Amino acid sequence: MSFQVILSQLASGMLLTISIFVLTLLFSMPLGFFVAFGRMANNKVIRFLTQLYISVMRGTPLMLQLMVVYFFPWYLFHISLGSFWRFPAIILGFTINYAAYFAEIYRSGIEAIPKGQYEAAKLLGYTKAQTFLRIILPQVIKIILPAVTNEVITLVKDTSLAYTLSCIEMFSVAKQIAAAETSMLPFAVAALFYYLFNLLVSLGMNRLEKKMSYY
């Protein structure tokens, strides 16, 4: 089987891989901010619950979390959602997992900002929201970009774990072709896709880092 034929067969899996990647970032990055704020909250209950959530998400395998999310409607409510629930469960599982990692990255960035900046902004008449959006957030983004880049690159590779729920993403398609053709070429093509995808992500994030290097 030629490279072009394998590539055409992997195309649908590639689209699904990209969809998982994009949707996970779209939902997990904003959710990570809410979790980070909960992690830094003055309320002990909220702080404990968010710490517990982060600990569980970071301390258990993503593969296991995907299975729990997919099967919990049946085991808790005896509701069978069938194949309809498979893709939403994958996105939800990836989202809650990566939100925990992003939350810790955001928290470290926010806490790295000197407290004097908050006090100076208050003296200048800024509200808390204005202080965060106009003064703190731009600096936090600059600080956390390298760590966020690492997580984004990891996400590209972790999309292959969607096979846990019988989702036919690119790596699953590659395995099927490799088994049928008794060839390692499909895996080589899949590896090339992951590498090029990560290369594009790295170049984009590096360009953003350079734009944020204002001092």
Average pLDDT, the chain: 87
Reply yes or no on whether the pLDDT at 214 is more than 70.
Answer: no
Which residues span the domain enclosing 74? 3-212
Separation of alpha carbons 98 and 153, rounded Å: 12
Q: Which residue has the higher pLDDT, 20 or 11?
A: 20
CA distances from 54 to 16, 59, 194 (A): 27, 8, 28
Separation of alpha carbons 119 and 135, rounded Å: 12
Separation of alpha carbons 165 and 119, rounded Å: 50
Tokens 């170049």 correspond to 203
Tens-place pLDDT, residues 132-181: 888 888 888 888 999 999 999 999 999 989 988 888 778 788 888 888 87
Q: What confidence tier does 182 reach under pLDDT thresholds 50, 70, 90?
A: confident
- Other Cβ atoms less than 10 A from the Cβ of 6: the count is 22
Task: Provide the pLDDT for residue 158.
Answer: 92
Q: Which residue has the higher pLDDT, 126 or 67?
A: 67
Separation of alpha carbons 125 and 131, rounded Å: 9
Task: Provide the pLDDT for residue 48.
Answer: 95
Q: What angle do CA 21, 66, 191 make, to 5 degrees?
A: 45
Number of structural domains, the chain? 1
**What's the CATH code of the domain at 184?**
1.10.3720.10
Task: Provide the pLDDT for residue 183.
Answer: 79
Q: Which residue has the higher pLDDT, 15 or 183?
A: 15
Task: Provide the pLDDT for residue 1.
Answer: 61
Separation of alpha carbons 156 and 201, rounded Å: 9
Task: Provide the pLDDT for residue 87.
Answer: 92
